[in-house]
Structure 1
Amino acid sequence: MKRYLKTALRFILFCVIFMVILMLLSKVFVPKDNQKSAGMEAVQSNGILGEPDNTMDYLVVGDSETYSSITPMEIWRQYGYAGYVCGTGGQHLYDTERFLAKALKKQSPKYVILETNALYRKTAYEKVLKSQLEKYFQIFRYHDRWKSLTLNDFTGSVNYTWTNDYKGYRYENKVAPAALKDYMKQTDQKAKISAINQYYVEQMIKLCRKNNVELILVSTPSIKNWNYAKHNGIQALADQYGLEYYDLNLMPDQAKIDWKKDTRDKGDHLNHTGAVQVSDWLGAFFHSKNTLTDHRQETAYSRWNDALGRYDQQIADGTAYEISHGKK
């Protein structure tokens, strides 16, 4: 019996030492800045980390539908509300929750907009496990950085310096008209949300409530990705947790999308003119809440007015795509 106990204690001690080593290595391997040159991933989305603390009125999280459909600079132009899109292509909800948790360590927005397309993305449990390991031991996420480690990685503290003028939005002016069809034909069918995706929605709800943030569900316009059965599934989820839900696919009088000119890929994602329409709706929605402050005349937000000038100039001179996609 004593032999088995000693073996068990040795195993536990080994595990503890191994985890301590992983934690120490993670501190070394994690990027010390949020720029690509420092090894940061998803640089456009992680630009939120370089924003001054507690300056965001709202955050947007989700997959590529977010950064294709919402341009915070247009909301700033009209209402002076500061926000950021933390979306990435093909984003799974375990990554959505991770982005949100990171952002809420530095920001205290009043609203978080969760775009709903990712709620129907299939998620493999092994990827969930990998994501959890990377969450606590970031060496697994950034292990490739061993080639570019510097002395500062061993001795320096994290200092996020970069901000994105487009606030996570990615400009696209290409037009590829959609084949018009009744994609929101009414039905009583309800598309099922997987248990693992519902779990991560629950985690985000808890995270938002802990930080006194209102989580709002929004389905942005998409002929290819959306239908009435999915709408019903999200509505049921919203009712279950007491969340506000807005499906812009059923609100053509408010988000006035012209599928002949407002999509870049035949109805999958919106282009810039479509994003302006959705952003007009979102800005008006925030304004109707009467809880946000217009910051346009505040000295502390003067950099937003500067960014708006660059945003407008880059759109006018044709460089907006390259810059918003991090290619310049």
Structure 2
Amino acid sequence: MKRRICNGIKIIILLIVLGGIFIWVNGILVGKSGMYRIVSFYEETEDSLDAVFIGSSHLYYSIYPFQLWEDYGIKSSVIGGDGVGIPLEYYCVKEAIREQHPDVIVVDLYKAFSDQKLENISYMHNLVNAWPLSRNKIQMISDLVPEENQIEFYMPLYLYHTRWKEITESDFDRQTCYTKGAAPQFGIYDASNFSELDKKEKQEVPRTALTYIQKIIDVCAENKVELIFTVIPYETTAEEMDQQRIFNQLEDELKSENVLYYNGFHMIDELGIDVKEDFFDSGHLNYNGGVKLSAYIGKILSEKGIGNNSEKNDTWKVQDQLWHAYIDSKQINKIEDINEYIDFIRKKKYEYVILSSDGIELFDGLQKVGIDEKTQFPEGECVLIYNDGNRDIYALNTQQISVDFNGIWIESKKGEKVAITIGKNNYDFTESTIVIVYDPVLGNIIDVVGISDQEEKIDRKM
């Protein structure tokens, strides 16, 4: 009897170990596109959020929770995924209520023109693979996913088992989300072809979309959660004008339900959107446009009594600093002008490493970042390291360098050409100057660029 009990215990332990290994391998191999944004939602303290925003990339590109918190004390998060349809948004709403039960949920109705339950199974994986198993997730899979594909949502390893060939070191690291689920974009697209269809032009809303919109209304009403619907404006082609007609029809459909609905196609001036400057591409607002949209939504929520500026706790203060550092790290990646680049580094008080083919010329070009005129630069190749207010200068024609730079090991040596190793990355030094920028707030290198004196342009290395 004792032997049977011992054997039984051993089997149970073995199953637990094998199960743990399976879960770990599943986490390594699963596709991670955008998952870290969704995981961040589940890291929030239970019932701590005032608002949750739900939608496709139209929404998560352009709603910024930290801006709402700074301006109105509104604590919020974004649940978003590429091409999210209305049926999946319904289950996102249920998930938001299950996890947070916020005062208000804002749902973008971009896909209201679709009559399909499932838009794109790959996009769906990107969103729901981050969800923990729950009754809501099981219901969602049963309702929206074809039977032959359901197993891959319960066991993503079934789908991703061949991905072992593609895994990198980043698959083993926990990625940090600095945005509460948002994903601001920094390019500029001239959307001068943007056109607004007259409100009188309408078209019937597809049955599937309308059915799940009603489900969203009902579940929010049942749980006493205020609901707001939006449509974020984008550039529609002549072939896509039916989409605007459906958005116009939604106003009639939602009026009787006493649900707020903001159709952004008719609010360009009210939002302050500049179609030449505030779009990232034809379908999405950029960061500048998102700031304007977030300000507008924040004012609406604040006037409803959502949020409280007096409750800005220390955790959100620290996270808010990371958000701004993240925004800066994306903005520096878009700078192409050398003078603007150097000025940006100086104003943001970054730490940096600069390699130069000529120390004297380096001094002439770097007075803009506040280098003391008494600083002595060697002739020929040199390395300048600015770290925590201190500057160290090394002449490569007389020595190699090997130094710990903010916990990142940096080595540089002169062979046929100067090369630098930063952590595990190697960079050849072919330009007259190379700059490595480190952000002490984020705790990592945010940019590596080469600068050619002859061409006077920036060549990004990462």
Same fold by TM-score, threshold 0.5 exceeded?
Answer: yes
Shift in alpha-carbon separation, 1:108–1:125, aligned structure 2, 3 A: closer
> What secondary structure is seen at the aligned counterpart in 1 of 2:156?
helix
Higher relative contact order (CA 8 A, sep 6+): 1
> What secondary structure is seen at the aligned counterpart in 2 of 1:241?
coil
Give the TM-score taking structure 1 as reference length. 0.73
Higher helix share: 1
TM-aligned CA deviation for residue 289 of structure 1: 1.1
TM-aligned CA deviation for residue 206 of structure 1: 1.6
Unpaired runs of at least 5, structure 1: 1-27, 149-160
Specify the alignment match of 2:256 in structure 1: 240
Query: How many Å separate the matches in 2 of 1:319 and 1:119?
Result: 33
Query: How many Å separate the matches in 2 of 1:32 and 1:303?
Result: 30
1:271 partnered with 2:282: no
Unpaired runs of at least 5, structure 2: 1-18, 122-139, 162-173, 334-441, 443-461
Q: Equivalent residues in 2 for 1:114-193 (5 A)?
A: 114-123=107-116, 132=143, 139-145=151-157, 164-181=177-194, 183-193=195-205
Shift in alpha-carbon separation, 1:237–1:46, aligned structure 2, 3 A: farther
Specify the alignment match of 1:199 in structure 2: 211
TM-aligned CA deviation for residue 296 of structure 1: 4.5
TM-aligned CA deviation for residue 191 of structure 1: 2.3
Between the two proteins, the alignment pairs up a number of residues equal to 279
Q: Is the contact made by 1:192 and 1:233 (CA closer than 8 Å) also made in structure 2?
A: yes
1:75 partnered with 2:68: yes
Shift in alpha-carbon separation, 1:131–1:176, aligned structure 2, 3 A: farther
Query: How many Å separate the matches in 1 of 2:263 and 2:39?
Result: 27
Residue type at the aligned position of 1:56: L
1:58 partnered with 2:73: no
Q: Which has more radius of gyration?
A: 2
Give the TM-score taking structure 2 as reference length. 0.53
Q: Is the contact made by 2:117 and 2:144 (CA closer than 8 Å) also made in structure 1?
A: no
2:296 to 261, 281, 285: 281
Shift in alpha-carbon separation, 1:176–1:36, aligned structure 2, 3 A: farther
TM-aligned CA deviation for residue 124 of structure 1: 5.4
Higher strand share: 2
> What secondary structure is seen at the aligned counterpart in 2 of 1:318?
helix
Query: How many Å separate the matches in 2 of 1:36 and 1:108?
Result: 28
Shift in alpha-carbon separation, 1:133–1:67, aligned structure 2, 3 A: closer
Query: How many Å separate the matches in 1 of 2:144 and 2:217?
Result: 22
Q: Is the contact made by 2:186 and 2:331 (CA closer than 8 Å) also made in structure 1?
A: no
Higher mean C-alpha displacement, 52-61 vs 133-142: 133-142
1:260 partnered with 2:273: no
Shift in alpha-carbon separation, 1:187–1:117, aligned structure 2, 3 A: same
1:16-49 CA-to-partner distances (Å, cap 9, x unmatched) read: xxxxxxxxxxxx89x979x964848652134212
Query: How many Å separate the matches in 2 of 1:46 and 1:135?
Result: 25
Q: Is the contact made by 2:112 and 2:247 (CA closer than 8 Å) also made in structure 1?
A: no
Specify the alignment match of 1:25 in structure 2: none
Shift in alpha-carbon separation, 1:201–1:229, aligned structure 2, 3 A: same
Shift in alpha-carbon separation, 1:37–1:140, aligned structure 2, 3 A: closer
Shift in alpha-carbon separation, 1:245–1:89, aligned structure 2, 3 A: same
TM-aligned CA deviation for residue 317 of structure 1: 3.0
> What secondary structure is seen at the aligned counterpart in 2 of 1:215?
strand
